[in-house]
Chain A
Amino acid sequence: DAGITQSPRHKVTETGTPVTLRCHQTENHRYMYWYRQDPGHGLRLIHYSYGVKDTDKGEVSDGYSVSRSKTEDFLLTLESATSSQTSVYFCAISAGVGYEQYFGPGTRLTVT
């Protein structure tokens, strides 16, 4: 299995609080992605990174920010969590354009 970890694996937080999710890889892959998965919507891309300090928005980026200061770490921040951000968040990595992506185990976030 690809070396991808996510932390925390589960989190319950209150509306309005900031939350940071971490994705860590040991594969030295250039591309990293954050997705959310909700019933009826499938996997939706939030943000992605194509190198250290190089990030771009996905299809559902509102309310989220990301940072990548090292190849191995990609952070997703919810500046002020809302109940609509209750979801399962997956991180993925890829060696390059057109390559397959490998997923981390996911973080279950509940915003009350």
Chain B
Amino acid sequence: RKEVEQDPGPFNVPEGATVAFNCTYSNSASQSFFWYRQDCRKEPKLLMSVYSSGNEDGRFTAQLNRASQYISLLIRDSKLSDSATYLCVVNSAGNTGKLIFGQGTTLQVKP
């Protein structure tokens, strides 16, 4: 079983749609969770951290369910510019600072 699993998609949605991505992780000792965005042939960029209480940043909402070891990202009112690959990221237990990256979910927003 992969340490971080995501549905690779692609998710094809029209502009203005709401889309949700899910991610599961295997290490119950993980403490830090993130969503990154990666555009084609570019470096991953931090989209948002994910907190236990859930957090929102504009059109983006992230949720964490520790009991189910599940993370989600909701994008409302999708824009063409949201088209990218979204990476679910979880820290590796221990003191190495290592992060474990999912393989990503591809989103394509159509006009």
Contact = CB atoms under 8 A, between A and B. Distances in A.
A51 B78 CA distance: 41
A96 B98 CA distance: 10
Chain A contact residues: helix, strand, loop or mixed: strand
Nearest to A45: B98
Interface string A66-106: 00000000000000000000001010001011111111111
A14 interface: no
Interface of B: 31-32, 34, 41-46, 49, 87, 91, 95-99, 101-104
Contact of B97 (A99, A103, A104, A106): A99
Given A101-B99, A103-B44, 16 more contacts: A41-B103, A42-B103, A43-B101, A48-B98, A56-B96, A58-B98, A88-B41, A97-B91, A98-B91, A99-B97, A100-B34, A101-B46, A102-B46, A103-B45, A104-B43, A105-B42
Contact of B95 (A33, A88, A97): A97
A45 B103 CA distance: 13
B32 to A, nearest CB: 4
A103 B46 CA distance: 9
A80 B34 CA distance: 35
A100 B97 contact: no
Contacts of A43: 44, 87, 101
14 contacts: A31-B97, A33-B98, A41-B103, A42-B87, A42-B104, A45-B98, A48-B98, A97-B96, A97-B97, A98-B32, A99-B97, A101-B46, A103-B43, A105-B43
9 pairs of A and B residues whose beta carbons are closest in the complex = A103-B43, A42-B103, A43-B101, A98-B32, A97-B97, A31-B97, A100-B46, A97-B95, A103-B44
A111 B99 CA distance: 28
Nearest to A103: B43
Contacts of B43: 90, 103-106
A43 B98 CA distance: 12
B103 A98 contact: no
